[in-house]
Amino acid sequence: MEKTEKKCMSGASDASKRVISGAEFGGERPLYCEKHLRLENVTIHAGESALKETVDIEAVACRFEGKYPFWECDGFTVRDCLFTEGARAALWYSRGLEMSDTLVEAPKMFREMSDLRLCRVKLPHAHETLWRCSGIRLEDVEAHEADYIFMHSRDIEIDRFKLLGNYSFQYCKNVVIRHSDLQTKDAFWETENVTVYDSVLNGEYLGWYSKNLRLVRCHIGGTQPLCYAEGLVLEDCTFAEDADLAFEYSEVQADIRGHVVSVKNPRSGRISAGSYGEIILDGNIKAPADCEILTK
């Protein structure tokens, strides 16, 4: 992540680029198919596809108001910019984005993209954002109203992410998250190969139907967490008072510090915790029904 941070913060520009400064554009495709262009203090007013099919674009201190400004773009840098709510669906079907110090008020950002890096970016209306993307790097990013964020995305690295929104990371593959605060129910459903370090995961129905979900030094809140999971691993985690009925029908190896309100019908593996309020093993437990439940 250190390498990404330096690149994101470098602010270097290419002197060979043509520069447009202090201009305003609107309407349909005003900068269509431009190459090797630097925009400084430029405003893109209402209209569509201002920078569609472009290559090597740098936007600094710009304002985007129109729809779909960056579609089918190759290699572009966005720094210290504003995407207003009218700039919805602004970045789709594009490759090689570096975005930093930017406010994104528009919803439905970043679809079908590859190789994108966001650093110190705020997304206050982030619903349906980051769908079907790959090669994602986030650092010091904050997303609110972020329902269904990261749907069907893969190869994700995140550090210091604050998330408020439900149904996050569904169907994602190959994800590593560090030092983050995720307030989100139905997170990590049907994911594969996800590891979360030193983070808060708060919301109902965490990690259902996941494969190879690993949580390290995390704090887990919300009812019925971590059910129907395969290859589930918890290392040195803690559970909140509302994290009840955990591990139903899961294959689990869990090392938990402190108290767990209730465990229900884990399928196999081993669970170790400081204490339990209730252990429910009833006639509905699924084979092999041989999970060890231990007290430290």
Question: What's the pLDDT tens digit per position in 12-28?
Answer: 456 689 999 999 999 99
pLDDT at site 14: 64
The four Cα atoms 115, 6, 85, 134 give a dihedral, to 10 degrees, of 20
Neighbours of 290 (CB within 10 A): 11
Neighbours of 255 (CB within 10 A): 16
pLDDT at site 4: 39
Taking the C-alpha atoms of residue 28 and residue 144, their distance in angstroms, rounded to an integer, is: 30
Residue 150 pLDDT greater than 50, yes or no? yes
Task: Give 202-259 as a DSSP string.
Answer: ESSSTTTT-EEEEEES-EEESSS-S-S-BSEEEEEEEE-TT--SBTTT-EEEEEE-SE
pLDDT at site 9: 47
Taking the C-alpha atoms of residue 248 and residue 226, their distance in angstroms, rounded to an integer, is: 7
Residue 231 pLDDT greater than 70, yes or no? yes
pLDDT at site 16: 85
Question: What's the pLDDT tens digit per position in 117-148?
Answer: 999 999 999 999 999 999 999 999 999 999 99
Residue 274 pLDDT greater than 70, yes or no? yes
pLDDT at site 13: 57
Neighbours of 75 (CB within 10 A): 17
134 burial via Cβ count (<10 Å: 0-12, 13-18, 19+):
middle
Question: What's the pLDDT tens digit per position in 181-210?
Answer: 999 999 999 999 999 999 999 999 999 999
288 burial via Cβ count (<10 Å: 0-12, 13-18, 19+):
exposed
How much is the CA Rg of the chain, to the nearest whole Å? 22
Mean pLDDT, the chain, whole residue set: 94
Is the entire prediction scored with pTM above 0.85?
A: yes
Do residues 31 and 54 touch, judged by C-beta distance below 8 A?
A: yes
Taking the C-alpha atoms of residue 113 and residue 91, their distance in angstroms, rounded to an integer, is: 8
Do residues 122 and 101 touch, judged by C-beta distance below 8 A?
A: no
Choose among 219, 279, 211: nearest CA to 246.
Answer: 279
